[in-house]
A and B are shown apart, each in its own frame.
Chain A
């Protein structure tokens, strides 16, 4: 079992990012992150659902029931306008931070 623990802030950022292209259900979010990271990041239930509840509470996404590809009733998460703003803010902050860290790593 490989454990790629990521800070919860980063997980929220990734969730918001994959939802930008359209509503997804929980399992699909995990799959999408897994696929997009070239199988490097695995999102477990234990961290995904608490993070989803948190961003629901924050109002960055809304949840609505729909039907999955496999014709099952499932909850889809959709990015809200607040969520979009939050994504932009967090993404640019993350950008700045990684650039700064890389700068240190490169020169030190």
Chain B
């Protein structure tokens, strides 16, 4: 019954024109007959017809059509207003769309692999600890016994030396089922599979697409040729398609089989040892939930613990996390921050457009009055005005989608983002853009529509609020930009406490190349001797955490209820001298001095404010060391954190395979880098360590802050420009409204400054209110920023004051321009006009 009625209505909708004509004809006939029999026709024929058509419930389409047609006609007559409105809105929506697309791309969209939703990533977990590396023998055990997982995948990354390449290259070792399970295409040749696992199969590798393009110039004939990896021969059997992301969200130069790890990496015990581990993923079987898989694996882990009591932890279980999505670590606060910034731009844009619409409404008073005089009720008027806003919003939305995608694409090219990330807007982005467009049309359009339709032009509350929003949001952006710029300056100008201009770092990754502690010791000794022999090298030493290298080792210290991270440098006695870190008191470390520690001055001050730090015990884990010396502060592992604290202790036997070599040079470092590579090659021709100039890394970390500051400054300037436009409109409108009053005052002898002051007084409340809200907002946002950027001071008076001065200056100029018109008012003309 209901369905048939719906079908009839749809039939009506499709043949609406014919139905309407028939109804008109029928009603005309009725009228004729009624007149013939002496009746008097009642009411407007058109109106009666519309009432009848209302029964079908589709009149809103007609009205919407009318309104939209009317909007477009209006737009054609004022193209300037339309262009300005759409542009302002496109900027506001574009910024939000770009931010959301970025979030969507890396957080909401799964990786481009087969059935990403059934892939889980596993970590070892016991009540006390969580570790992401699972020992390979355990992985093999789980793979053999699991019934809930249809496949178990494993992967480990390594740096490999390749014949003909200066720097070490990345290789991912994966299980034989990896490509079959994830289903990537081969761009050329074939991918690795179970057949390559057989002991008698020729060792095969597959190239990553990016490496194939950069290193082999995308030459397909490379497939089938042989390559020496870590000195071992292997055949290149194929190239993985460009759009394949793997599971780590990163693609290597080479893909090889994990089962062949022992072949490529000399002395590798990865496949047999419980002390190392690999990344583990699993694919859920049909109808199995993640919880069921976790429960089963917990039972298997307990069983494995019975066989290997010392290798599997007590109460160990595997924690699962969605594996088919890009790994996002600690990026949520960045997204929250970016989200807050772009919403501010949107708020400024909406506030601006709202006041534009109100000003336009004032000039349309006549039209509105006329429309309401011929029978349009307030509901009909609001609907029409709101339709205008909606059409504007949808045009802005389209512009915003285009602008946002372009900006995102530009950022991705600029930041060298992985190629498998696809910035093309998907349904989520489009839905988001439309929703934002609709919400902003409510925000900027509804208040003006209500005010215009009610003909209450004199009440300026809505207008004041809209300007206040613009003032506040542009103010927040300017202050945050100022804070970031200052943080960048500070990072660049203050002394980091260590030598970086003249230092070369040789990152060794000996463990990944299968070196034992004894071999590592002789390698490092040999290399150090050769490096010292190079002319211009002043000093050579080792550390487990090279400066600015991204690798940190920390001890957590409880101080006054707060947790303090202490950066631990495992070094040799020469390290402080090499890095030119001054020893302030006490003595340096000496060889064999494993129970001693040198602490930084900042750590000494924090931990023993009232005592002599020398001779104090210091606990790291289960060990208790004695403080023997105090060194100068050197933020080599946390360049942006002026409050970082650190300590130095000797590297021990177990640390040997994880060490890097640092060397200080007398002159420029660039010239000596090739000599360093040559020296390493002479020690072990199969292993090419990474030689880096510390200066480059230092410059890079300063540039990171500076480009962040630049981006926020740009947003701030856009918001400021938008706010200035809004203020110009507001003052111009106010001057137009008060022409008569100003004329009278001028005629009575008022001076220009009186007139200007009376204009200024009208807005000072709004501006001050907006400024206060802006300062408070900025202080809040700075707290959020501080979590990411340690150098940022939340109460930096210079940043706040300069932002406010800049703002007042720009807004003052913007206000003065239309205000001049007030002074040129001719009293006679003003008094004569209505």
Contacts and interface: CB of A to CB of B under 8 A. Distances in A.
B53 A74 contact: no
B8 interface: yes
Contact of A53 (B31, B40, B55): B55
B372 to A, nearest CB: 24
A68 B36 CA distance: 15
A57 B27 contact: no
B22 A75 contact: yes
A59 B26 contact: no
Given A27-B33, A46-B48, A57 B55 contact: yes
14 contacts: A26-B30, A27-B30, A44-B42, A45-B30, A45-B43, A46-B43, A46-B48, A46-B51, A48-B30, A50-B55, A52-B52, A56-B55, A57-B55, A74-B29
A89 to B, nearest CB: 13
Interface in A18-48: 25-27, 30, 44-46, 48
Contact of A57 (B25, B49, B56): B56
Interface string A64-92: 00001010111100000010000000000
B52 A53 contact: yes
Contacts of B56: 53, 57
A45 B29 contact: no
Contacts of B40: 1
Contacts of B757: none
Contacts of B763: none
A99 interface: no
A50 B56 CA distance: 9
Interface string B388-399: 000000000000
A49 interface: yes
Contacts of B23: 49, 53
Query: Secondary structure at chain B's binding surface: helix, strand, loop or mixed?
Result: helix
Nearest to B45: A45
B12 interface: yes
A1 B9 CA distance: 36
Nearest to B23: A49
Nearest to A51: B55
A45 B42 contact: yes
Contacts of A52: 52
7 shortest interchain CB distances as A-B pairs: A53-B55, A49-B52, A54-B55, A27-B33, A50-B52, A27-B30, A53-B52
Interface of B: 1, 4-5, 8-9, 12, 22-23, 25-27, 29-31, 33-34, 40, 42-43, 48-49, 51-56
A72 B25 CA distance: 11
Given A26-B30, A27-B30, A72-B29, A46 B42 contact: yes
B48 A59 contact: no
B418 to A, nearest CB: 57
B58 to A, nearest CB: 11
A26 B33 CA distance: 11
B53 A53 contact: yes
Most buried by A among B33, B34, B40: B33
Interface of A: 1, 25-27, 30, 44-46, 48-54, 56-59, 68, 70, 72-75, 82
A45 B12 contact: no
Contacts of A57: 5, 8-9, 12, 55-56
Contacts of B49: 49
Most buried by B among A57, A70, A82: A57
A59 B8 contact: yes
A49 B48 contact: yes
Contacts of A1: 40, 42
Contacts of A59: 4-5, 8
A103 B611 CA distance: 104
Most buried by B among A27, A51, A72: A27
A45 B53 CA distance: 13
Nearest to A63: B22
A25 to B, nearest CB: 8
B336 to A, nearest CB: 52
Most buried by A among B1, B9, B22, B52: B52
B345 to A, nearest CB: 48
A4 to B, nearest CB: 14
A27 B51 CA distance: 17
A54 B33 CA distance: 23
B225 to A, nearest CB: 76
Contacts of A26: 26-27, 29-30
Nearest to A44: B42
B684 to A, nearest CB: 88
A21 to B, nearest CB: 20
A27 B27 CA distance: 9
Given A49-B30, A57-B5, 9 more contacts: A25-B29, A45-B48, A46-B43, A46-B51, A49-B48, A50-B52, A54-B55, A56-B8, A72-B29
B626 to A, nearest CB: 94
B42 A74 contact: no
A83 B27 CA distance: 23
Contacts of A48: 30
A30 B30 contact: yes
Contacts of B52: 49-50, 52-53
A26 B5 CA distance: 22
Nearest to B4: A59
